[in-house]
Chains A and B, each alone.
Chain A
């Protein structure tokens, strides 16, 4: 886009780059904030239906779909309170720290082949590293509130997030190993084609490790049944007990942003990213070499595909939340240390051995061997090549 602005529109270089960066930042902000609005409404409806209620029905028509907007207006109008013994600076800063961490992780997340804020060579690593920083805001909030409930919630969250980063890291490493790259775009492109090319179905070990990833992801974003940090029945509201108004809603935007992020990461790592179960674009004849408009259309389709998968992931998290009871802290730790970590380690070793023994898959021809195209082929020697079609066989097009 920056090249287009410089060459075709004739803007000076600095303005073009600034505009490009602003557009990307605003789009990502919209994903988080708009997503939070929709997901909070969805959460209330799903919770209500699971508990045999109706949920919001009046605000904004039949399904109460303006409920989140009304909530938002109420939150903006609320008084911004601070407890008397609180550490003022940290108390005010904490929600923004949480939100910024959630926002930064989105920078490296690709939505389609080149619909990505900043394509990083170590995208997976960056996303996981930044996602872990969200807990900073929570700890600061818990400490600065000068309330024992907040402090307990924060310490629980710290313990939980630090522990669950270990199995989460192990789960993330498996698709990285199969793809031979830490670049999220490369990982997703290698799963192009039919359903069988998804890393979820690559071998039995990746299928198992996907569910370990799901467990760890739910735990690392503090959703029930792992929501000890804000256990209502024990800690009032946990780390955000003392918060009100807009600051409180920043925590919630961060939480829903993180939920969406781990779901999108799962989609990219295991569920083919923007490459659907059926290569629609390829069947429609839209592949590399059919022109710019077609490329754009293909990428747009891919983005819808990825957003759909991520939304589905968030909805599953809600379903789990309203179905399972909350675990105790010792059960949470047991799940992490005695189940998730050993299973992830064993599956990691298994996937590695599978890769060595059966590189072509169990049935030859059913799925392409992972890692057959190396990093950099996607780009070609002269930099960024036109985007391969969604569903196009990348290995077939490359030289």
Chain B
């Protein structure tokens, strides 16, 4: 009983989530099946979201779930489409690539560790500003009003919030969205419209048409029509 009481449960859960994230990340690299890779990636990203929730950053955690884990969903769909064809069922990494990737990864890790441990504030025990992980100040700051205090010694402009960066990012995303829609549309002209295909053919073709309407050309769909194995 006593050893349990003496444990720092926050650290225990931190280590649990961190170990899960790292183990799944390694599994992504070592797995040979695209769908399994995507699954491990989902677990790794989900464990990272758990770390965010543990730190009290609920908004970032939910964002992580929605954007990264949800984004991997689309990846998974493409994984399924690709692996429906025999040559892609297993992806093997050449030993040379493995060594190269290991060297680059280790170098990046070394740089990150070095810079993380060189920040003096991060080495002190956590004395958090607890109990205010609210999303409202964040939203207000993005709209241009900082309701929280500006950090000491900050230039006067910092209180004006992040309206400009927010708008730039929004417009950028909008441009990307319009561009993607334009590209998908231009491609679709060469193939029959999805409604026509779906109305005139059996379910596999309607699926292919839908794939074309989505983010992929008709190729992914025709691969699918061949069946999984």
Contact = CB atoms under 8 A, between A and B. Distances in A.
A69 interface: no
Contact of A90 (B39, B61, B81): B39
Interface in B13-37: 33, 35-36
Contacts of B199: 328, 330
Q: Is the interface of B mostly helix, strand, loop or mixed?
A: helix
A14 B5 contact: yes
B177 to A, nearest CB: 11
Interface string A145-164: 01110011011101100100
Closest CB pairs A-B (n = 8) = A129-B66, A330-B198, A129-B65, A148-B227, A125-B62, A126-B62, A330-B195, A143-B80
Contact of B136 (A89, A148, A165, A181): A181
A328 B80 CA distance: 23
A144 to B, nearest CB: 8
A147 to B, nearest CB: 7
Given A129-B69, A182-B135, 9 more contacts: A121-B58, A121-B135, A129-B62, A133-B65, A146-B229, A155-B80, A165-B70, A375-B136, A383-B131
A375 B63 CA distance: 21
Instruction: Place the interface of chain B in its size category.
Output: 35 or more
Given A122-B59, A158-B77, A151 B66 contact: no
Nearest to A155: B207
A348 to B, nearest CB: 16
B229 A85 contact: yes
Nearest to B74: A162
Interface string B34-70: 0110010010000000000000001101110110011
Interface in A366-394: 375-376, 383
Contact of A151 (B33, B42, B227): B227
B56 to A, nearest CB: 9
A350 to B, nearest CB: 20
Contacts, number: 130
Q: Is the interface of A mostly helix, strand, loop or mixed?
A: helix
A195 interface: no
Interface residues of A, number: 52
Contact of A136 (B42, B58, B62, B206): B42
Interface stretch (B95-103, B112-120, B164-172, B209-217): B209-217
A328 B206 contact: yes
Contacts of A47: none
A220 to B, nearest CB: 13
B135 A158 contact: no
A268 interface: no
B59 A125 contact: yes
A154 B80 contact: yes
Which among B133, B195, B203 has the highest number of chain A CB atoms within 10 Å?
Answer: B203
A146 B228 contact: yes
Contacts of B7: 14
Interface in B83-103: 83-84
Interface of A: 12-15, 17, 85, 87, 89-90, 93, 120-122, 125-126, 128-130, 132-133, 135-136, 139-140, 142-144, 146-148, 151-152, 154-156, 158-159, 162, 165, 180-182, 234-235, 328-330, 333-334, 375-376, 383
B59 A329 contact: no
Contacts of A333: 194, 210, 213
B73 interface: yes
B228 A147 contact: yes
Nearest to A126: B62
B134 A375 contact: yes
Contacts of A139: 73, 76-77, 80
B59 A121 contact: yes
A328 B198 contact: yes
Contacts of B33: 87
B144 interface: no
B138 to A, nearest CB: 10
A12 B70 contact: no
A234 B1 CA distance: 58
A135 B228 CA distance: 19
A154 B203 CA distance: 13
B9 interface: yes
B223 to A, nearest CB: 11
Which among B63, B136, B228 has the highest number of chain A CB atoms within 10 Å?
Answer: B228
Contact of A135 (B73, B210, B224): B73
Contacts of B80: 139, 142-143, 151, 154-155
30 contacts: A12-B1, A12-B4, A14-B7, A121-B133, A121-B134, A122-B62, A125-B62, A125-B135, A126-B62, A129-B62, A129-B69, A133-B65, A139-B77, A140-B39, A143-B228, A148-B228, A152-B203, A155-B224, A159-B210, A159-B214, A162-B74, A165-B70, A182-B135, A328-B198, A328-B206, A330-B199, A330-B206, A333-B210, A333-B213, A375-B134
Nearest to A375: B136
Given A132-B70, A133-B65, A329-B210, A180 B228 contact: no
A328 B207 CA distance: 11
B8 to A, nearest CB: 10
B65 A122 contact: no
B224 A151 contact: yes
Contact of A130 (B65, B133, B134, B206): B65
Contacts of B36: 87, 89-90
B228 A126 contact: no
Contacts of A135: 73
Nearest to A379: B131
